[in-house]
Amino acid sequence: MWLGGLAREVNTVFNYCNELSVKVFERERRFLSGFDFWPFLKGVTRGDCALHLPIQAVQEIAEEYARRRRQHRKVRLAWRKSGGARRSLGWIPFKVRTIRYRAGQIYFAGRWLSLWDSYGLGAFELRAGNFSEDSRGRWYLNVCVPRAQRGDERDKPSVGSILDRSVPSLGIDLGLRTFAAFSDESLPPIEAEPFYRDLEPALARAQRARHRNRSKAIHAKIANRRKDFLHKLSTDLVKANGAIFVGNVNASALAKTRLAKSVLDAGWSAFRTMLLYKCDDAGVWFAEVDEAFSTQTCSVCNSRAGPKGRKDLGIRGWQCTVCGAVHDRDVNAAHNILAAGHRRLAEGILGP
């Protein structure tokens, strides 16, 4: 496929930048910026052995490499592999004015590509973006467009209106058995969906039979079901609230324990990311707050009288020995998370 060939050229440029960056660091103890790569990449799109990539795409690859190296704070990044069992999925970046849209097709690098336009791109100015490949070999166009003004946009409510409860706000406690419990007790807890475990037997059969395409299709179905669930839930919560606070449960640490399969299946990190950008777009306050001792602390009298330690993990309901209040473990934690979020706003900590 033509895009597959361009993706292999992208890997070649990325790996060249990787190797060059390491050599410069070993010799001069400095890192190259995206602009510093440009003198070494001049002419790669000209001559008999020229790349078929547009020169703007070559520049973007070098800049993206420099950004990722800074992000991960590494001298050398992993190589992008063009073949074998660990082949990197295709990725072809482009800059502004590198692509054109006309009559349901995209013009890129001298070719017209047919496109299933589910967004109506003809009404927008196309800016920077990339082509990306999924595990089943299907290609997608990811492109930035100017933000359209919508009639349903909300101004972010004032801190005072959040603190005096005139605008609804919500605390969310994330878990494994109960995916989300809420401080608003009119909202029923959301039970965790077994996205992976439902299809695990079918996936095991396909893997034992070495049906690679079937295995990829099942993995994609699992991921799509999870994203559909998380998108619908996060959208409903953002529409109904002026402020949302969620516990900062450490998913990456728990993913290294025997609970790894359940933690990864839950999708906590993806859910919080969705809440973050949807709240930002809708004018809703959002923050991840420290959830330490949130299950042990009574949300009525603030005494730490709740179940403690691993031996009490099975206790889902308890009564405070100080004030006598009866709590559901997860709902009580959500109340404490909401209180922590309100304290952040009262103290002027307004960021995520």
Tell me the pLDDT tens digit for each residue of 225-281. Answer: 999 999 999 999 999 999 999 999 999 899 888 889 999 999 999 999 999 999 998
Q: According to the model, what pLDDT value does residue 93 have?
A: 96
The SS3 call for residue 309 is coil
pLDDT tens sequence across 166-220: 899 999 999 998 999 999 989 999 999 999 999 999 999 999 999 999 999 999 9
User: ∠ at Cα 211 (210, 216), nearest 5°?
Assistant: 115
Q: According to the model, what pLDDT value does residue 149 have?
A: 54
- Split at pLDDT 50, 70, 90, the class of 76 is very high
**What average pLDDT does range 55-75 have in this prediction?**
94
Of 204, 162, 170, 163, nearest to 190 (Cα)?
A: 170
Percent of the chain whose pLDDT exceeds 90: 66
CB 168 within 8 A of CB 242: yes
Q: List the domain boundaries for the chain.
A: 2-143, 159-346
d(CA 115, CA 101): 10
d(CA 169, CA 111): 51
Ramachandran quadrant class, 84 (left: phi over 0; alpha: psi -120 to 50; beta: rest): left
d(CA 300, CA 292): 17
pLDDT of residue 350 exceeding 80, the answer is no
pLDDT of residue 124 exceeding 60, the answer is yes
- Split at pLDDT 50, 70, 90, the class of 123 is confident
d(CA 218, CA 85): 18
Between 119 and 246, residue with greater pLDDT? 246
pLDDT of residue 152 exceeding 60, the answer is no
pLDDT of residue 349 exceeding 90, the answer is no
Rg of the chain on CA atoms, in Å: 25
- Split at pLDDT 50, 70, 90, the class of 150 is low
pLDDT tens sequence across 183-194: 998 999 999 999
pLDDT of residue 340 exceeding 70, the answer is yes
Token reading at 88: 């990197």
- Ordered DSSP codes for 32-60: --TGGGHHHHTTTTSSTT--SS-HHHHHH
The SS3 call for residue 172 is strand
How many other CB atoms are found less than 10 A from the CB of residue 157? 18
How many other CB atoms are found less than 10 A from the CB of residue 173? 27
Say which amino acid occupies 345: L
CB 220 within 8 A of CB 135: yes
Instruction: Please list the alpha-helical segments (H only) found in the chain.
Output: 2-28, 38-41, 55-72, 159-163, 195-208, 212-240, 251-254, 260-266, 268-282, 329-346
Domain 159-346 has CATH 3.30.420: yes
Percent of the chain whose pLDDT exceeds 70: 96
pLDDT of residue 286 exceeding 90, the answer is yes
Q: According to the model, what pLDDT value does residue 314 have?
A: 75
